[in-house]
């Protein structure tokens, strides 16, 4: 935490827009799960961990793997479904078969490496005046950090951090300024990606309900 | 397979008779007699016969390979379907060694049980007729509210829709129901209900439904919109 700030201060430091950021070059591809009736390349201006509260620029959210993209976009927390009699106490997370038919997978490729604020490590978070809490906090809090990072003099093209879903998933939030440098290719509905589905089931205890 | 009714004092154990084409003989007092007779009757139609063949092959394999522990647990299940699913699921190899398709099949089997759990959660669900009576409306008016996104109806195949009872308050449908449906719009009704009933990390692990009941409506609607357009992360 920067000097002069209270230990429980969750707002961005005043000098964040001019502070030296922990930057790293990220190469693609990245993966995205999105409603199949939308475009695979979409910069969300409203809802997400590092969206601009003023909605003046959009952010495209993706992950470093297809499993990560699925987990970030669709997974719920376990606790609703109890394990069946043969697998007592197994954590299960439900997803409807309709979701797997209506949501699609896309791959995002970069024309060149993108310079991103690297929040994967405690030192990176400390450098911007935050801590691991920033990646676990409600979005109403984390969104406040988007704009000063976006406006930093180094003009970062996005942010990379470790997903709250765990499992070594890396989340990417690419600013709208990267649009000329990235390409998205829709790969069809999730239900057709059998290896991906099986991996999500193995890692997260996903159960697929009919309808 | 053919079946033949025997006198009630015949042996109860099914047995094969003759030395050529095997003929399965069941006593009418055998608990297997009625279900097997029903199956044989249904199997006269080719498509049903084809599916029945696969059913029986899978069931035979699952029962034959199941451990006593699995069978004991399955036999104590509340319903026939749950008992069958538990036995079938146990027959699929461990996820670590199973093929992708076997892993997906197991997840789909478990999904049938999960769906039942959700239908029974938080007071259960009502048929369209029951919901109409509770709301003093016609069945058609209930259907219209579902199609206009003012009420969640869960599609259950040829049985139509089931309406979660927790949508009802002392004065009818809770005012927040249309708001959360709208916020969760990209998702189908089942996924909407999964969201509302699952613990949420930003609600101290409480479910959105319980937070709505506690009056945290704006907060839950915002979280629903975030889940619909972004996810939980």
- State residue A38's pLDDT score: 94
Least confident span in A142-151, B78-87, B126-135 = B78-87
- ipTM value of the model? 0.92
Cα distance between residue A158 and residue A59, in whole Å:
8
Q: Which residue of A has its CA nearest to B157?
A: A211
**pLDDT at B19 (0 to 100):** 55
pLDDT of B7 strictly over 70: no
Look at residue A170 in the predicted model and tell me its pLDDT.
Answer: 96
List the domain boundaries for chain B.
43-121, 124-172, 174-233
Per-residue pLDDT, averaged over B211-227, amounts to 97
Distance from CA of B49 to the nearest CA of A (A): 24
pLDDT in tens, B152-187: 999 998 879 999 999 999 999 999 999 999 999 999
Q: Which pLDDT does position B9 carry in this prediction?
A: 43
Q: What is the pLDDT along chain A (211 residues), one digit of tens a residue?
A: 445 678 788 999 999 999 999 999 999 899 999 999 999 999 999 889 999 999 999 999 999 999 999 999 999 999 898 765 444 445 789 999 999 999 999 999 999 999 999 999 999 999 999 999 999 998 999 999 999 999 999 999 999 999 988 889 999 999 999 999 999 999 999 999 999 999 999 999 999 999 7
pLDDT band at B217 (very low <50, low <70, confident <90, very high): very high
Min Cα–Cα distance to chain B from A195, Å: 6
Distance CA A172, CA A180 (A): 17
- Tell me which chain B residues have a C-beta less than 8 angstroms from the C-beta of A44: 229-230
The average pLDDT across B13-22 equals: 57
Residue B11 confidence (pLDDT) above 50: no
- The DSSP symbol for A63 reads E
Q: What is the largest CA-CA distance in chain A?
A: 58
Model pLDDT, residue B92: 73
Report whether A98 contacts B191 (CB < 8 A): yes
Cβ B194–A95 below 8 Å, yes or no? yes
Average pLDDT, chain B: 86
Nearest CA in chain B to A95: B191
A47 contacts A180 by C-beta, under 8 angstroms:
no
Compute the count of residue pairs across chains A and B with CB atoms less than 8 Å apart: 165
| A84–B230 CB contact, under 8 Å | no
What does the pLDDT read at residue B21? 67
Q: Is A96–B194 a contact, with Cβ atoms under 8 angstroms apart?
A: yes
Determine the pLDDT at residue A90: 57
The pLDDT, as a whole number, for residue A144 is 96
Res B2: pLDDT: 40
pLDDT (0 to 100) of residue B40: 81
Count the Cβ atoms, other than its own, within 10 Å of residue B55: 14
Is the separation of the CB atoms in A148 and A16 below 8 Å?
A: yes
pLDDT band for B105, please (50, 70, 90 cuts): very high
Q: Which of B101, B110, B230 is the closest to A84 by Cβ?
A: B110
SS3 assignment for A94-146: EEEHHHHHHEEEEEEEECCCEEEEEECCHHHHHHCCCCHHHHCCCHHHHHHHH
Identify any residues that bridge with B62 across adjacent strands, giving them in sequence order: none
Q: For residue B140, what pLDDT band results from cuts at 50, 70 and 90?
A: very high
Closest A-chain CA to B113 = A84
* Tokens linked to A21: 């950021």
Question: Which residues 133-172 of chain A have a CB within 8 Å of chain B?
Answer: 136, 138-140, 163-165, 171
Whole-structure pTM value:
0.84
Pairing of the two strands B23-25 and B15-17: antiparallel
Mode of pairing for the β-strands spanning A206-209 and A93-96: parallel
**What's the pLDDT score for residue A192?**
98
Helix (H) or strand (E) holding B154: strand B154-155
Q: Is the bond preceding residue A29 a cis peptide, omega within 30 degrees?
A: yes
Nearest in space to B147 (alpha carbons), one of B108, B180, B110, B181 = B181
Q: Would you state the pLDDT for residue B179?
A: 98
Highest mean pLDDT among A148-152, B88-92, B109-113: A148-152
Which chain A residues have a beta carbon less than 8 Å from that of B226?
Answer: 47-48, 139
Distances (CA, A) of A8 to A5, A11, A140, A157, A161: 8, 9, 16, 29, 21
Burial of B22 (0-12, 13-18, 19+ CB in 10 A): exposed
Residue B173 has a pLDDT of: 97
Of residues B63 and A38, which shows the higher confidence score?
A: A38
- Using the beta-carbon criterion (under 8 Å), do A98 and B106 form an inter-chain contact? no
Among A141-150, B3-12, B26-35, the range scoring the smallest mean pLDDT is B3-12
Helical packing angle, B80-91 and B46-65, nearest 10°: 70
pLDDT band at B34 (very low <50, low <70, confident <90, very high): confident
């Amino acid at each position: 935490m920067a000097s002069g700030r209270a230990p429980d201060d969750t707002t961005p430091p005043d000098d964040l827009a001019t502070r030296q950021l922990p930057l790293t070059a990220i190469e693609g591809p990245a993966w995205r799960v999105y409603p199949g009736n939308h475009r695979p390349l979409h910069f969300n201006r409203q809802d997400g961990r590092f969206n601009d509260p003023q909605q003046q620029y959009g952010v495209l959210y993706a992950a470093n793997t297809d499993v990560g993209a699925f987990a970030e976009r669709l997974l719920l927390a376990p606790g609703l479904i109890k394990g069946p009699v043969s697998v007592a106490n197994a954590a299960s997370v439900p997803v409807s078969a309709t979701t797997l038919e209506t949501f699609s997978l896309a791959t995002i490729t970069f024309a060149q490496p993108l310079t991103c604020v690297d929040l994967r490590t405690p030192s990176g978070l400390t450098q911007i005046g935050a801590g691991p809490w920033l990646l676990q906090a409600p979005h109403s809090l984390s969104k406040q950090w988007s704009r000063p990072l976006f406006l930093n003099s180094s003009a970062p093209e996005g942010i990379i951090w470790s997903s709250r879903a765990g499992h070594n998933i890396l989340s990417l939030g690419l600013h709208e300024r990267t649009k000329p440098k990235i390409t998205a290719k829709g790969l069809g509905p999730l239900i057709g990606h059998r290896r991906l589905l099986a991996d999500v089931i193995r890692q997260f205890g996903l159960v697929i309900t009919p309808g | 397979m053919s079946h033949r009714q025997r006198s009630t004092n015949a042996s109860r154990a099914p047995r094969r008779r003759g030395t050529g084409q095997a003929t399965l003989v069941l006593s009418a007092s055998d608990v297997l007699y009625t279900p097997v007779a029903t199956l044989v009757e249904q199997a006269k139609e080719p498509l049903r016969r084809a599916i029945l063949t696969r059913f029986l092959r899978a069931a035979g394999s699952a029962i034959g390979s199941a451990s006593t522990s699995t069978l004991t647990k399955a036999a104590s299940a509340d319903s026939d379907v749950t008992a069958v699913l538990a036995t079938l699921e146990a027959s699929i190899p461990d996820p670590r060694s199973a093929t992708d398709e076997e892993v997906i099949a197991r997840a789909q089997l478990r999904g049938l049980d999960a769906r039942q759990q959700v239908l029974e959660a938080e007071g259960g669900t009502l048929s369209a007729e029951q919901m109409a009576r509770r709301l003093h409306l016609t069945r058609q008016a209930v259907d219209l509210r579902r199609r206009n996104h003012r009420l969640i109806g869960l599609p259950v195949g040829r049985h139509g829709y089931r309406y979660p009872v927790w949508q009802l308050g002392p004065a009818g449908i809770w005012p927040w129901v249309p708001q959360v449906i709208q916020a969760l719009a990209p998702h189908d009704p089942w996924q909407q209900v999964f969201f509302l009933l699952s613990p949420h990390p930003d609600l101290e692990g409480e479910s959105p439904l319980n937070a709505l009941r506690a009056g945290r409506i704006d907060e839950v609607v915002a979280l629903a919109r975030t889940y619909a357009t972004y996810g939980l992360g």
